[in-house]
Amino acid sequence: MKLPDWLNPALKGAAAGAIAAAIVGFTWGGWVTGSTARQMATDRSRTDVVDALTTSVCMEMSKRDPMSAQKIVELKAASSWSRADLVMKSGWATMPGTTEPNRDVASACGAKLST
């Protein structure tokens, strides 16, 4: 069976177009692979959970602490990398039902309280 003469250039054009579309899509179009999308979703959900816990738990615990004013003055005077330790020592980053403080929540809470 003989193929039409126009089929060969059409197939080459379609292949070149597909390659060009993939290059443009992944480079400038915002396309990502499945594993990159999963990693982005994991990172985003972790950030959202830390934000929610910082606002709903850590900030509320700091407001209820009778020594809050003194601890916040210490927090503002401390360096940015030691604020998380101060928040963890005060117990504001220990989530209800757990015994260990959460460092990510403590860092976010320290940053919010120091401003």
Q: Is residue 35 part of a domain?
A: yes
**pTM for this predicted structure:** 0.71
- The two three-digit tokens of residue 93, written as one number: 């980053």
Q: Dihedral of the CA atoms 19, 20, 21, 25 (nearest 10)?
A: 100
- Model pLDDT, residue 2: 84
Q: Is residue 51 part of a domain?
A: yes
Q: Is residue 90 part of a domain?
A: yes
- CA–CA dist 69, 53 (Å, integer): 21
Coil vs helix vs strand at 89 = helix
Q: State the alpha helices, DSSP H only, in 1-115.
A: 7-27, 34-53, 59-64, 68-77, 83-90, 103-113
Q: Is residue 97 part of a domain?
A: yes
Q: Is residue 78 part of a domain?
A: yes
Q: Is residue 61 part of a domain?
A: yes
76 is in which domain, residue-wise? Answer: 7-113
Report the domain count for the chain. 1
Evaluate if residue 1 carries a pLDDT over 80: no
Q: Which residues 6+ apart lie within 8 Å of 53 measured at CB? A: 95, 102, 105
What's the whole-number mean pLDDT along residues 16-36? Answer: 96
Evaluate if residue 3 carries a pLDDT over 90: no
Residue 114: other Cβ atoms inside 10 A: 15
Q: Is residue 2 part of a domain?
A: no
Instruction: Encode pLDDT of 37-96 as tens digits.
Output: 999 999 999 999 999 999 999 999 999 999 999 999 999 999 988 999 999 999 999 999
- Model pLDDT, residue 59: 92
